[in-house]
């Protein structure tokens, strides 16, 4: 494990492990996706496509761990995930449903308007 700071507390070291693992899973998704698209043998194409989907699952597990454990993830994920609004408009509440419930969107919209 490579750290940019010495003597990290264990919690921060675990964050670094999870983030590095997420990076590795995402790289694997990209590799398998490229192989799935370019493989000429149909069975190999299926295998690497299956592997890509497994790596997506691994990445999702790490994102969920980060959401549960590292400050900053839960709020951002609730804002940006599972919305159909344009992503550049989600944070301001200009888009459609965001934050997992209408209540969250209302609170966010009020806060945004208070900043103006
Ligand atoms: Fe993996």
Output the tens digit of pLDDT for each of the chain's 116 residues: 777 777 778 999 999 999 999 999 999 999 999 999 999 999 999 999 999 999 999 999 999 999 999 999 999 999 999 999 999 998 877 654 444 444 444 444 444 444 44
The helix (H) or strand (E) run that includes residue 57 is helix 42-69
CA of 59 to the centre of ligand 1 (A): 7
Distance 101 CA to ligand 1 centre (A): 31
Q: Tokens 């790289």 sit at which residue?
A: 27
Backbone CA torsion sign across 38, 55, 20, 83: positive
Give the per-residue pLDDT at 106.
42
Distance from residue 47's CA to the centre of ligand 1 (Å): 14
For residue 3, what pLDDT is reported?
74
The domain ranges of the chain are 9-70, 72-116
DSSP letter (8 states) at residue 39: -
Per-residue pLDDT, 94: 60
Phi/psi at 37 (5° precision) = -75, -35
* Of residues 86, 92, 97, 82, the one with CA closest to residue 114: 92
User: Could you tell me the two tokens for 25?
Assistant: 């899973």
At 103 the pLDDT is: 41
């Amino acid at each position: 494990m490579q750290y940019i700071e010495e003597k990290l507390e264990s919690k921060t070291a675990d964050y670094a492990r999870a983030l590095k693992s997420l990076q590795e899973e995402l790289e694997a998704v990209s590799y398998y996706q490229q192989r799935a698209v370019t493989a000429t043998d149909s069975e190999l194409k299926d295998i690497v496509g299956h592997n890509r989907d497994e790596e997506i699952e691994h990445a999702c597990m790490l994102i969920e761990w980060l959401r549960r454990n590292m400050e900053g993830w839960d709020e951002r994920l609730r804002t940006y995930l599972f919305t159909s609004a344009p992503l550049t408009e989600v944070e301001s509440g200009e888009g459609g449903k965001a934050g997992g419930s209408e209540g969250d969107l209302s609170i966010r919209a009020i806060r945004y308007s208070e900043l103006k």
